Structure formats: C-alpha cells, structure tokens
Amino acid sequence: MSFQVYNSLTRKKQPFEPIDAGQVRMYNCGPTVYGRAHIGNLRSFLFADTLRRWLEHEGLEVKQVMNITDVGHITADADQGEDKLDAQARKEGRDPWKISEQHTEEFLADLAALDFLEASIYPRATAHIEEMLEMIDGLLEKGHAYRAGDNVYFDVSSFAEYGKLSGNKVEDLAAGARIDVLEEKRAPADFALWKSDPAHLMKWESHFGPHGFPGWHIECSAMARTHLGDRIDIHTGGEDNIFPHHECEIAQSEAFTGEPFANYWMHAKFLQVDGGKMSKSLGNVYTLSDVESRGFRPRDLRFTLLRGHYRQPLNFTWAIMADSARALAKLDDLVTRLKRIADGQEGAAEATAGEDLVRAAKQAFRAAMNDDLNTPPAIAQLFGLRDHAVQECLGSAAAALALEFLAGVQGALGILDMQEESLDQETQDIFNERIRARENKEWARSDKLRDELLERGIVVEDTGGRTVWRKR
C-alpha cells in the first residue's frame, strides 16, 4: 500500500517516492506577512501540515520548510504593481519591518493554536537577499536573464519548458495580459528578478544599484535551495500559486541549476464561504480570531477544514462549524468509551472480541489517507469504530488496540482529544458530594451542585446508572 499523491505537474495521481529513501524534502509556500492569515490561508497551510504528518506517520523523515515572505511582492510591471508590505506600511504610517514582524508572530501563534506541527524552519525572505542575488547573477551568466538599467528580468524565451506546470502558453499569456507591458522588457511574459526604485521602503544596495529589492518569485527559489538543496521532493501552495508564482520558480530554479526543481507539486483548492468566494467586500474574510469570538475552538476549525478533501472546493459556513463541534463531541465520546472498555468497565466479555473490526478500521483509514490524503472517508472510519464501541462489540484488548490506532490518527490529523483529564481536588469533592445528594434523592441540593460544577466548566451527566463528567 503506497502513498499516492496528485501531482499538479503531471496532472495525475502517482506513487510518492522520495529522492533519498526514507527522507522527504518539502517546501511549503508560506504567507506574505502584511496582515492576519484568514481561514482560506489556513486551509492551505493545514493541507501542508497534514501532508507532513502523514509522511511521518508512514515512517518517513521530513524536512519541512515554510517560508515567511516579509518583503513585498511587487508585480513585474512597475508602478501598477503593488508591494503589499510597502503599501500596508504607507497606509499605517509604520515601518514595514515592524509590520512584518508583528504579522509573523501572529501567524506562528495561529499555527500553534491550530496544533500545527512546527516546521523544521521558517526562513524569512529578507534574510536571504544574498542567496537571491547569487541566483540572479548565475541566471545572468547563463543567459537566462538580462539587465535593463537597474532592473533584472528573467528571459522566458530562454527556458523552453516555461508553462509546463500551469499549461499556459507564452503566446496566449501575452495576448491576455491585463497590464501594459513595460518598454524595457524584451517580451511580455518576462518577469522581474530584481527591481530598483528609490521610493521603495524596503530596499537593498547591490551591484545592480543602491535601491534594489527582489522580484516576487526569486525568494522562494532561493530559500528552497538554501535550506533543501537544488532538488526537492515536494513543493506545496494554494491553487492560485500555480501561475505565475510556481511556474516562475520552476523557470528560475531549473535554469539556474540545470536540474529538475521539485518532483511533486501539490496545490490546495480555495476555500469558499457561503457557497461563493471570500472577499473583503462581502465581509466574509474570517480569521482565527473571528472563529474564536463566535465561540468555536481552533480544533473545530481544524476539523471543519479536514472534512473536505484538500483538492475539492470546500464550503465554509458558521452552520458547518457548529456541525463540526457536535461531531467532535462524538469522537471525544469514542475516546472516553474506549478507555472504559479497555479498563474492563464495560464492553464485550471476551477481551479480544472485535479486534478484527479495529484492524479493519485501521486499514481503511490508512488506505484513505494513502489515497492522496482523502481525509473525509478516513474520518468516517472513526465513526464506524464508534458504532462498534457503542454496540458493545469490543473487548478490553480490542479497545486497547483501538486506542493505539487513535493515537496514530491523532498524529496524522490532530483533531482528537486524547488527554487524560482529571478534576482538581475541590471540584472532585463537589462532584462526589453531588453523587451522595442524588443517592439521598436531595434533588434541590443535587441541582445546585450541578450548577456549581457547570460554573467550573464541568458538565455532569447521570447516565446508565452512573454519573460521569466532561469538560465544557
């Protein structure tokens, strides 16, 4: 059973085989830090996190690089282009370095709140200016780039494979260009490697001039090469990155090294909100803060985003978030039940009863994940397992096996709550007191204690002859 991934480059699913056996070099296109990440950004990064988790689940060692673009993307075509960071800095009247620093911290905090595994490194574009210049010089030497004053452009005509990722043809691009072509460019499709502008806020002195800054695409090529080498296994991003960003990265990197850049390109589809696109004018560009202020946990968002396949458009609504929270409660219940069964408190009499059911669920889960990270049917297996637990089909040994399986699921998806929870002594005393009150049928007193516990965030349930508690 091998891991099949959909490769945007070949437009089909193929078995994943790393360049070096047992090791994966993965580059995730990260955020441009001029504002707070929204749930659409988070979907794309969650896909990268899931991919990394699954590769590790399958026993591979992953070096994961997620870049932080902290210098603006200026579009290639001069003054009509907008540098997001530069623009934001002017708008706020603040230092762009401060802005990027603030949003970088915010971004990493969002990832942590959502239980993302920490990447091996989060390189900053501004810390790789030298490496970018090195590549630009190399491209000039090899005739893949040319200077126009203090600017440097990549010569698309020098790279025959330009368009192999996106399927675009250079001729069609020229015809569809929305922005007037700069005189100094030799061809409309050529893109900037290095630009110069005295008015720019973030700029670097180089042999191209005193007021330079990098083009949009070169930072990823340089950072990937610096941290992962000339050839990498996987490069990810949102579907919008396919063109021009990734197409240009391929051109730069492969023209520079003369070798294939990334073997697998994987892209996440855009998240939709209320059946349509997210847009500022509709006011539906939500962030993790919005999610939390509506009373949802980061975990609810994580689950919602994993309920759809990463390559399908996913529709986000607040109703679905509520739906997810309820579904997660069922999975929490599964964990609790399995623990009780494993302890012999309930379940089938024979310890090994249902082991085959657990093994089948585990295998189906793995098969789904191995099919290009098909998380929806993988998650469905958990509910199937829950049915078996509820119907008392599982014995203590089977439950222990199931818990082991769920630990693996947690490693891969990060949506479960496996924590061993306990009450502090005071709360435990109130809880015990309530049980005594109920035994004595002191209903008023019992209800008062129940309210007290609720204030402490503990929900009490009198179920099936025993009283149990859970958080929230």
Q: Any contact of residue 31 with RNA (CB under 7 A)?
A: yes
Stretch that binds RNA, among 108-116, 127-135, 139-147, 368-376 (CB under 7 A): 368-376
Q: Which amino acid is at 280?
A: K
Residue with smaller CB distance to RNA, 299 or 386: 386
SS3 88: helix
Q: Out of 10, 391, 428, 432, point to the residue binding RNA (CB under 7 A).
A: 391
Query: Encoding tokens for residue 269?
Result: 């589809």
- Binder among 52, 84, 200, 362 for RNA (CB under 7 A): 84
Which single residue is written with the structure tokens 């437009």? 11
Stretches 134-142, 144-152, 160-168, 418-426: which one binds RNA (CB under 7 A)?
160-168
Q: What share of residues in the chain are helix, strand, coil (percent, to 5)?
A: 50, 20, 35
SS3 state of residue 254? helix
Pick 62 or 373: Cβ nearer RNA? 373
CB of residue 428 to RNA, shortest distance in Å: 18
How far is the CA of 124 from the CAs of 101, 197, 207, in angstroms? 10, 22, 22
Nearer of residues 407 and 459 to RNA, judged by Cβ? 459
Whose Cβ is closer to RNA: residue 155's or residue 355's? 155
- Cα 198 to Cα 78: distance, rounded to the nearest angstrom: 13
Find the binding residues for RNA in span 86-145 (CB under 7 A): none
Query: Can you tell me whether residue 315 is helix, strand or coil?
Result: strand
Taking alpha carbons only, the member of 128, 102, 107 closest to residue 119 is: 107
Contacting RNA (CB under 7 A), which of 14, 81, 138, 411?
81
The least CB distance from residue 216 to RNA, in Å, is 6
Instruction: Give residues 430-469 in contact with RNA (rule: CB under 7 A).
Output: 438, 443-444, 446-447, 450, 459-464
Nearer to RNA, 2 or 23 (CB): 2
- Selected range binding RNA among 96-104, 175-183, 220-228, 294-302, rule: CB under 7 A: 175-183
Of 55 and 361, the one with the shorter C-beta distance to RNA is 361
Least gap, CB of 239 to RNA (angstroms)? 5
Enumerate residues 177-236 that contact RNA by CB under 7 A. Answer: 177-179, 188-191, 216
In contact, 233 and 262? CB cutoff 8 Å:
yes
d(CA 447, CA 459): 12
Minimum CB separation from RNA for residue 194, in Å?
Answer: 14
Measured from the CB atom, is 429 or 462 closer to RNA?
462
By CB atoms closer than 10 A (0-12, 13-18, 19+), residue 346 is middle
Q: Which residues contact 296 (CB under 8 A, 6 or more apart)?
A: 321, 325
Binders of RNA among residues 310 to 329 (CB under 7 A) are 312-315, 317, 319-320, 322-323, 326-327, 329
Based on DSSP, count helices (H) and strands (E) in the chain, helices before strands. 15, 15
Of 390, 407, 436, 439, the one binding RNA by CB under 7 A: 390
Nearer to RNA, 18 or 128 (CB): 128
Residue 37: CB minimum distance to RNA, A: 8
Question: Considering only 40-48, 54-62, 203-211, 345-353, which stretch makes contact with RNA by CB under 7 A?
Answer: 40-48
Q: Which of 271, 291, 342, 402 binds RNA (CB under 7 A)?
A: 271
The C-alpha atoms of residue 432 and residue 95 are separated, in whole angstroms, by 58
Nearer to RNA, 271 or 301 (CB): 271
Token representation of residue 115: 């239980």
Smallest Cα–Cα separation from 234: which of 22, 6, 24?
24
Residues 278-317 that bind RNA (CB under 7 A): 278, 307-309, 312-315, 317
Q: Are 215 and 192 in contact (CB under 8 A)?
A: yes
User: What distance in Å separates the CA atoms of residue 408 and residue 389, rounded to the nearest whole number?
Assistant: 18
Question: Are residues 278 and 272 in contact, defined by beta-carbon separation less than 8 angstroms?
Answer: yes
> 257, 287, 374, 427: which one contacts RNA (CB under 7 A)?
374
The Cα–Cα gap between 239 and 284 comes to: 20
Q: Which is nearer to RNA, 376 or 457 (CB)?
A: 376
- Candidate ranges 69-77, 200-208, 290-298, 420-428; the one touching RNA (CB under 7 A): 69-77
Number of residues in contact with RNA, rule: CB under 7 A? Answer: 91
Report if residue 238 touches RNA, rule: CB under 7 A.
Answer: yes
Rg of the chain's alpha carbons, rounded to an integer? 27
Distance of CA 301 to the CA centre of its chain: 12
What is residue 441's three-state secondary structure? coil
Our CB check for RNA shows the closer of 24 and 382 to be 382
| Type of residue numbered 442 | E
Q: Of these, 9, 65, 173, 373, which contacts RNA (CB under 7 A)?
A: 173
